[in-house]
Amino acid sequence: MTRKKYQGESNNKERSKQKLIQAVGKVLKSKGYTGLTATNIAKVAGLSRRLISTYFESVEDLVETYVRQKDYWTTASGKVADMIADNPQRDTKQMIDEILQNQLEYFYNNAEMQKIILWEISEKSQIMYEACEERERLGSKVFALADKEYEGKDIRAVSAILVAAIYYMVLHAKSTDTLFCEIDINQPEGMQRIKNAISAILQKM
């Protein structure tokens, strides 16, 4: 009779790694970035602390792995690359509009991503620096295509303002019940008004 191989958590490397990565997000949501310690992560994952050093170079490496998986721009890079490869002559206004609309939806619905952005703007860290650099590399590919269509217009500055607005409005909506410029993006009609405004700004450039 063939012995059944034990597939417990400690012996299943990939399963355990994913539980640790997922635990980072849970700790981030409940305790914020200051709570990202080996003890907290291991406890939430239901695994031994030693597995963090076994499967990752350090706690920082584990957190970086999580951030890279969750960061909107890094996650979207594959889709953007496909857009460019499939049709390098496509309307870049439409491409940028799609990216920003998707970012608004993703950021609004992802509490972990909201914590990551708060971390990014609250404290200097190598992890956040590298995530920002990755984001800039992706943005450069899109802007390189957009330069022809937006010749003489500063699409980078406009995009910067729109991205900053998305971050602030979502964080404001999630932390307070007050309106912002008489708009409530927690309501479908308010969210749609912001989406329409993004499209209008890009089309009028």
Q: What is the pLDDT of residues 87-119, one digit of tens each?
A: 656 678 888 898 899 889 989 998 888 888 888
Is pLDDT larger for residue 44 or for residue 123? 44
Strand partners, 183: 180
Q: What is the mean pLDDT of the chain?
A: 86
Q: How confident is the model at residue 6 (pLDDT cuts 50, 70, 90)?
A: very low
Nearest of 9, 48, 40, 12 to residue 24 by alpha carbon? 40
Nearest of 131, 163, 134, 142 to residue 64 by alpha carbon? 131
pLDDT in tens, 123-148: 888 888 888 888 888 888 888 888 88
pLDDT in tens, 58-95: 998 999 888 888 776 766 666 776 766 766 566 788 88
Q: Which residues of 131-170 are buried (b: 16+ CB within 10 A; e: fewer)?
A: beebbeebbeebbebbeeebeeeebeeebeebbebbbebb
The whole-number pLDDT of residue 11 equals 59
Q: Which residues of 31-52 are buried (b: 16+ CB within 10 A; e: fewer)?
A: eebeebebebbbebbebeeebb
The whole-number pLDDT of residue 76 equals 64
The whole-number pLDDT of residue 86 equals 67
Positions of E strands within 8-159: none
Q: Record the pTM.
A: 0.79
For 9, 78, 92, 118, the CA distances from 81, given in Å and listed in that order, are: 36, 5, 13, 27
The whole-number pLDDT of residue 12 equals 83
The whole-number pLDDT of residue 183 equals 96
Highest average pLDDT, of 2-6, 12-16, 103-107, 165-169, comes from 165-169
Taking the C-alpha atoms of residue 33 and residue 25, their distance in angstroms, rounded to an integer, is 10
Could you tell me the two tokens for 84?
């460019």
CA dihedral 5, 11, 14, 19 (to 10 degrees): 120
The whole-number pLDDT of residue 1 equals 47
The whole-number pLDDT of residue 4 equals 47
Nearest of 16, 126, 28 to residue 70 by alpha carbon? 28
